[in-house]
Structure 1
């Protein structure tokens, strides 16, 4: 389980396709603290560390992950949001994040405000995912508060610290992002659809 509070950024140094899998090697400031078999969220996608070499480590994404996330879009020099799984007893500074991406969305608008940046995203309403005003959403692994919630779109307001310390600083309009909707909202939505 994760919190959506990004620990550090990583830089992709190698991408290797093998059958339907993608092996991604990342250079990061936390590599020396990782171990093989550890779960790390990469842009919100929980992946297992399979190899470590000096300040770089490798994870493998299978076809299911590549089909449902933006991980397949990573290339050498891509910047990735990183968060290790939370420790039992730690503060939950963000919200409950599973590291299981529900779907991808598209950044449709970026607007600089006086002290913040507002990003707007569209997603597919056919998947029955929902956002609510002032509810939680995870975008590329970052725990954020929803503003301007609509049927298949929402906005988030990013403070300068978050903009500078996450891959939001490289995000452009039309970029594809990973979305994990609030776990409580997903259960409520599922119960409502069954009735």
Structure 2
């Protein structure tokens, strides 16, 4: 688990193709690795990866074909900047929100404009994720815990302050940038709870108007 508070900006040093998947080496910069051991988790642009080697200036992780297909990690190259966060401990301040490091889908930046010293981004999410994104709710973008300022269909808006622009890779986003999205865990569990016993039935996966009516959320 993670908090969505980015601890450092790292840099991809190398990507090696290995039998269809990739071995990734990341230079971690100011990230303190003194308490990291082999097998520990580190989030790279919001993707939970396992450290399989610790060469001293960073870490090495294997990235599966599934992860490459579902996230933006497959688009990285040598020199790419990445957001980094070590897994939380019981002593960690929960300054963001609970983040699993399991990306739900890829979003796309569709608009960027300055707003005083902040920058406003409009991001388009996959259709199947839209129902989990709420005004003033939490969302994780490339591992960064953020508050949704507005929602319009599949698009949501973010207001990013100067500190976040400086301490994450968001300052480098432009129109067309692909970003990893993880929706709020509570929203996902709530959906399954509302399904009740139907959650065990094959094909049960989402809430529809009939379910809301039967469970008393809609009045006739």
TM range (shorter): over 0.9
Q: Which moved more, 1:154-163 or 1:83-92?
A: 83-92
Residue 31 (structure 1) shift: 5.9
Q: Structure 1 56/126 Cα, relative in aligned 2: closer, same or farther at 3 Å?
A: closer
Q: How does 1:112-191 map to 2 (within 5 A)?
A: 112-127=114-129, 129-190=131-192, 191=194
CA distance in 1, matches of 2:186, 2:86: 22
Instruction: Return structure 1 stretches of 4+ with deviation > 4 angstroms.
Output: none
Q: Structure 1 38/145 Cα, relative in aligned 2: closer, same or farther at 3 Å?
A: same
Q: Structure 1 124/16 Cα, relative in aligned 2: closer, same or farther at 3 Å?
A: same
User: Could you tell me whether the CA contact under 8 Å between 2:8 and 2:83 is conserved in 1?
Assistant: yes
- Compute the TM-score of the two structures, normalised by the length of structure 1: 0.94
More strand, by proportion: 1
Question: Which of 80, 99, 102 is the aligned partner of 1:100?
Answer: 102
Gapped regions of structure 2 (runs ≥ 5):
196-205, 212-220
Question: Which of 69, 72, 76 is the aligned partner of 1:70?
Answer: 72
Give the CA RMSD over aligned residues: 1.5
What are the Cα deviations for residues 165-186 of structure 1, in whole angstroms up to 9, with x where unaligned?
1001211110110000011112
CA distance in 1, matches of 2:153, 2:187: 14
Residue 89 (structure 1) shift: 3.5
User: Could you tell me whether the CA contact under 8 Å between 2:26 and 2:58 is conserved in 1?
Assistant: yes
- Report the secondary structure of 2:102's partner residue: coil
- 1:19: which partner in 2? 19
CA distance in 2, matches of 1:149, 1:157: 13
- Compute the TM-score of the two structures, normalised by the length of structure 2: 0.84
User: Could you tell me whether the CA contact under 8 Å between 2:130 and 2:154 is conserved in 1?
Assistant: no
| Structure whose alpha-carbon radius of gyration is higher | 2
| Aligned residue-pair number | 195
Residue 129 (structure 1) shift: 4.5
CA distance in 2, matches of 1:30, 1:133: 32
Residue 87 (structure 1) shift: 0.7
